[in-house]
Amino acid sequence: TRKVVFDTDPGVDDATALLFLLADPEIELLGITSVWGNATVETTTRNALYLAERFGYAGPVARGAGGPVAGGAAEVDPDIHGHNGLGDIDLPARIGMKADARPAHRFIIDTVRAAPGEVTLLAVGPLTNLALALREDPAFATLVKEVVIMGGGFGFNGHLGNVTPAAEANIGNDPEAADEVFAADWPLVAIGLDATMETMMSTDYLAALREAAGEAGRFVWDVTRSYAGFYRRTLGVDGIFAHDSLAAAYLTAPELVTTRAGAIRTVLDGFARGQTIQSPDTREFVPGAWAGRRAHLVATGVDAPAFLSLYAERM
Ligand code: BDR
Ligand code: CA
């Protein structure tokens, strides 16, 4: 089994990824950490607790950062994930479960240090919590087994950004944090738009899940209704992109994606702020902005039918 901490901003596709993780017998979920992003951190933490309680996850849920590492406004867009972050489905007024006493970044450090070399961090929101953990305890990076993120867009299938033409949301929300995470000395895999925009769950697919996958299937249907509306309005497609679920699938089915190795940088200034750029190989380029960085893996493509079958089967 794989020990995993799930760092997330639920978030419609975050919720569908969490249910998928909970259904994976190979995953030992050590904790869930919330982060701002798809909604405020108050909302994403409430949603994480709600999902844990409703779907029987009894482990720790720790509340994370409320805005980017560099300070400034935590901008959230209710148009995509709804005002409540879960597609405006009905939620109970009170959640019984309580968050862990530690802030998320502390929880992450403690969990990794308790099992050196064994813990994978699956991060599918802005990378703020991971950057805070690195700032507090830089040496902990070498104790992490692997970092798998949903984030970025590297242009392999023509995909760069979704919040601007250059920036994908998780990176664009906190480019400084992302660049610190890419600079760190840990094995990292970025599953970006290059792969996730190639894996659409159509309305028919989601309707079949609703019929066949019990309470979880019905929940996925309900929670994706307004998210599907967003994609219909903006891209004219009939379905959703389950971005975060593909990153979750990578943990136990890495063969679903093809990857390329190279150092990654995040653009921090100007109109392309939030763009992710991978060095194409290990050449020493001038002026060497990528130099000295560890080569990380970037997803260049995906076997979408295989991913969709795996998701449906497991659910
Ligand atoms: C990513 O941004 C968020 O809106 C989604 O949950 C996903 O993690 C896609 O760009
Ligand atoms: Ca997310």
Relative to beta strand 200-202, strand 119-123 is: unpaired
State the chain's mean pLDDT as an integer: 96
Structure tokens at 60: 């720790």
The pLDDT of residue 265 is 96
ipTM of predicted assembly, 2 dp: 0.98
pTM over 0.95: yes
The pLDDT of residue 287 is 59
Q: List, in sequence order, every residue forming a beta bridge with 119; answer none if it has no partner.
A: 3
Q: Which ligand is nearest to the CA of 240?
A: 1
pLDDT above 90 covers a percentage of the chain that reads 92
Cα 261–Cα 266–Cα 269 angle in degrees, nearest 5: 155
- Say how far apart CA 174 and CA 163 lie, in whole Å: 12
- Say how far apart CA 249 and CA 4 lie, in whole Å: 12
Q: Tens of pLDDT along 123-141? A: 999 999 999 999 999 999 9
> For residue 163, which atom of ligand 1 is closest to its CA?
10
From the CB of 14, is ligand 1 less than 6 Å away? yes
Q: Tens of pLDDT along 44-95? A: 999 999 999 999 999 999 999 999 999 988 888 888 999 999 999 999 999 9
243 counts as catalytic: yes
pLDDT above 70 covers a percentage of the chain that reads 98
With the most atoms of ligand 1 within 8 angstroms of its CB, the residue from 18, 150, 246 to mutate is 150
From the CB of 198, is ligand 1 less than 6 Å away? no
How many CB atoms are located within 10 Å of the residue 271 CB?
11
Q: Is the CB of residue 279 less than 8 Å from the CB of residue 173? A: no
With the most atoms of ligand 1 within 8 angstroms of its CB, the residue from 8, 14, 77, 230 to mutate is 14
From the CB of 315, is ligand 1 less than 6 Å away? no
| Regions in the chain scoring below 70 on pLDDT | 282-287
- Say how far apart CA 263 and CA 314 lie, in whole Å: 34
